[in-house]
């Protein structure tokens, strides 16, 4: 049920409940959900609050309203995951190799040191670092910076083993609309070399990624440090595939 004492707005809580029912199959594609009047009665809220919840899911193209018939679950299509390696390392996916991701530094609001490329340089941003492995072997480190206002409160979510893109989409109702990334060959510092199990003299692929949202440019900035001695990386953004 809904928690009036939570800092999360009631309409947002209701949208989360409906989304979970859709994900679990309780409301399959094409199913009609409860009317806003029935939702309001079921959850003890006003009809405008129920309307706000369904409006959020309609804007996400998860629900669709049909005049005179009600509100229905749309057919869900596979989306490009711009935050997670899942779906972006094509060679692993095609071979059915599982990617395991663990948190190096838990997400927190931090002061960002001076860096000409980092759009959050000399300001504050949420920071997260994670390491991905394939068959127990480290392949990638991601240092991720998130806009402090756009993602306010994200530190309350447990990100261990979870898709950041799904949390951003389902809890914040945000989806990147554009992105670009720069590629170069670099060498890891001592810390990253240890985590990637390579020597500091080993060349690695360094990717600087910028993701833009309707609300703001550079909502997310990420630095990726990728081993390329064993694996081939590819990343698709906006239908354009970049490979290395």
Tell me which residue range forms the domain holding 214: 90-243
Q: What is the CATH number for 128? A: 3.40.1410.10
pLDDT at 86: 36
Residues 111 and 225 in one domain: yes
Does residue 233 lie in a domain region? yes
Q: What is the CATH number for 42? A: 1.10.10.10
Question: What's the CA gap between 104 and 169, in Å, rounded?
Answer: 23
Give which of 111, 114, 108, 141 is closest to 126, Cα–Cα.
Answer: 108
Does residue 80 lie in a domain region? no
Dihedral angle of Cα 208, 117, 147, 241, to the nearest 10 degrees = -20
Tokens of 157: 């979510």
Question: What's the CA gap between 183 and 243, in Å, rounded?
Answer: 10
Count: domains in the chain: 2
pLDDT in tens, the chain (244 residues): 788 888 788 998 899 899 888 878 899 989 999 999 999 999 999 999 999 999 989 987 889 999 889 999 987 654 434 444 433 444 454 445 567 888 999 999 999 999 999 999 999 999 999 998 887 889 889 899 999 999 999 998 888 777 787 788 778 888 888 888 888 999 999 999 999 999 999 999 898 989 898 889 999 999 989 888 766 555 554 443 444 4
Say if residues 107 and 159 touch (Cβ distance below 8 Å): yes
Residues 149 and 225 in one domain: yes
Give which of 89, 54, 94 is closest to 227, Cα–Cα.
Answer: 89
Question: What's the CA gap between 225 and 27, in Å, rounded?
Answer: 40
Q: What does residue 15 show for φ and ψ, rounded to 5 degrees?
A: -60, -40
Residues 113 and 229 in one domain: yes
Residues 30 and 124 in one domain: no
pLDDT at 133: 87
- Can you give the length of the chain in residues? 244
Question: What's the CA gap between 78 and 119, in Å, rounded?
Answer: 30
The maximal CA–CA distance of the chain, rounded, in angstroms, is 67
Give how far Cα 174 sits from Cα of 76, 166, 177, Å.
Answer: 17, 10, 9
Does residue 129 lie in a domain region? yes
Say if residues 186 and 206 touch (Cβ distance below 8 Å): yes
Residues 68 and 98 in one domain: no
Give which of 119, 122, 118 is closest to 110, Cα–Cα.
Answer: 122
Burial class (CB in 10 A: 0-12, 13-18, 19+), 151: buried
Last residue of a domain, one of 73, 106, 123: 73
Residues 179 and 67 in one domain: no
Residues 102 and 127 in one domain: yes
């Amino acid at each position: 049920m809904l928690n009036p004492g939570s800092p999360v707005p009631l309409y947002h809580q209701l949208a989360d409940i409906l989304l979970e029912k859709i994900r679990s199959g309780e409301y399959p594609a094409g199913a009609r959900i409860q009317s806003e009047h029935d939702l309001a009665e079921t959850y003890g809220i006003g009809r405008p609050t129920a309307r706000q919840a369904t409006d959020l899911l309609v804007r996400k193209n998860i629900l669709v309203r049909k005049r005179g018939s009600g509100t229905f679950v749309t057919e869900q299509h596979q989306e490009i995951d711009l935050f997670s390696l899942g779906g972006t390392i094509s060679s692993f996916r095609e071979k059915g190799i599982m990617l395991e991701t663990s948190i190096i530094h838990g997400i927190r609001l931090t002061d960002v040191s001076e860096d000409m490329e980092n759009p959050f340089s000399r300001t504050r941003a949420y920071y997260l670092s994670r390491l991905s492995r394939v068959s127990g072997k480290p392949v990638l480190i991601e240092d991720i910076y998130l806009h402090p206002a756009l993602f306010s409160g994200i530190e309350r979510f447990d990100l261990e083993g979870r898709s950041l893109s799904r949390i951003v989409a389902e809890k914040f109702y945000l989806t990147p609309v554009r992105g670009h990334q720069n590629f170069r060959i670099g060498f890891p510092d001592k810390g990253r070399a240890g985590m990637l199990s390579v020597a500091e003299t080993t060349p690695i692929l360094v990717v600087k990624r910028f993701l833009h949202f309707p609300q703001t440019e550079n909502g997310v900035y990420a630095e990726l440090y990728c081993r390329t001695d064993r694996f081939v990386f590819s990343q698709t953004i906006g239908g354009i595939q970049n490979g290395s």
